[in-house]
Structures are given as C-alpha cells and as structure tokens.
Amino acid sequence: MKLLAIEKEIQGVKDSDYAPFLEAEARKVWVLQQQGLIREIYFTDEQYAVLVLEATDRTHAREIVEQLPLVQQKLIDFDFMSLNAYPGYARLFKT
C-alpha cells in the first residue's frame, strides 16, 4: 500500500544540527529508493520532506523512516497518511 510520510518539526533543532548527517541521509534515501520502499521524495516550500512510501501498513512505514539517520538522531520525525485509489471514476460507469 502507498503511504504518505510528512515530516514534522521537532522543537529545538537548529539547521546546523543536520549538517553532520546529511550525506548519510542522502545515501540511505537512495538505498531505500532502490529497494522500492521510497517511491518518491519531495520538499515543500518550507523545506519539510514528503515521502511516498510502499509499505504493508503504518507500522512498516514507521520502520522504513526509522532507518533514516535524521530520524535516528531525533532531528526529524514523520506523520503518516494512507493513500487510497480515487473511487470517483465508478460514478462515470453507473448502469
């Protein structure tokens, strides 16, 4: 199933706190993309990460993001939303 993971702010974290972990973060994102677990990754205008994950459920989605160095260092965290197929097309084919 697809899940949306939206980064949430952690109070007290400074921009300089991220620097030692950014290369490792990029490497881990690459690995997770190659494994098909991260399908897409974006940043909002406010510089929050948004990930589209392929996971069995929210617990699995949490396990995926917990592999990220910035999450492990408690510099970022995520909220999750399930993404379900749009059901509205069925309205076009009522008989």
Q: Where are the domains of the chain?
A: 2-83
Write the pLDDT tens digit of every residue in 2-35: 999 999 989 999 999 999 999 999 999 999 999 9
Q: What DSSP line would sit under 31-87, residue for residue? A: HHHHTTSEEEEEE-TT--EEEEEE-SSHHHHHHHHTTSHHHHTTS-EEEEEEE----
On whether the 2-83 domain is CATH 3.30.70.1060, my answer is yes
pTM for this prediction: 0.90
What pLDDT does residue 95 have?
Answer: 64
Q: What percent of the chain has pLDDT over 70?
A: 99
Q: How confident is the model at residue 46 (pLDDT cuts 50, 70, 90)?
A: very high
